[in-house]
Amino acid sequence: MFHQMHEFGVTENIVNIALAKAGEAQASKVIQINIVIGEMAGFVPDCIQFYFDSLSKDTIAQGAVLHFELVPAQLRCRNCSTIFHPQDTLWSCPKCQGQSVEIFQGRELYIESMEVE
């Protein structure tokens, strides 16, 4: 038994999606996978790359570069609808100082595109 971070399962999904899409495109090699990841998504890019290197071994995705595009966190004030980037751990609205906020963006995790040969 070894300890595993939750990025492991996520990376398995990335490899599966990449291989399926490369197969559909009749590609012989995956060069780069472009992943969009929210600033607040609970996943560490370096950890995903680490698992990817071992999970993609002996597949056409071996050696592929994972490119992460970070989506900044944006919150929306439930009181005045102002959208803002959280400045610190206190999520208060810069306009009305309201403390009731929801996440507008920043939890994304998807494969946007791939470069293949």
Between residue 54 and residue 83, which ones bind other proteins under the rule CB under 8 A?
A: 78
Q: Should residue 104 be labelled a site residue for other proteins when binding is judged by CB under 8 A? A: no
Decide whether 46 or 90 has the Cβ nearer to other proteins. 90
The 10 Å CB-count burial string (b at 16+, else e) for 56-76 is: beeebbeebebeeeebebbbb
Q: Considering the complex, what minimum distance in angstroms separates the CB of residue 108 from other proteins? A: 9
Distance CA 38, CA 72 (A): 6
In 3-state terms, what secondary structure has residue 106?
coil
User: Minimum Å distance from CB 8 to other proteins?
Assistant: 7
110 binds other proteins, rule: CB under 8 A: yes
Q: Is 26 in the site for other proteins (CB under 8 A)?
A: no
Q: Which of 88, 94, 62 is nearest to 76 (CA)?
A: 94
Least distance in angstroms from the C-beta of 16 to other proteins? 7
Q: Does 3 bind other proteins (CB under 8 A)?
A: yes
The angle, 0 to 180 degrees and rounded to 10, between the axes of the packed helices 45-55 and 7-24 is 60
Q: Which residues contact 7 (CB under 8 A, 6 or more apart)?
A: 43, 44, 47, 48, 50, 51
Residues in touch with other proteins (CB under 8 A): 1-6, 8-10, 13-14, 16-17, 21-22, 25, 27, 31, 35, 40-43, 78, 89-91, 98-103, 107, 109-117
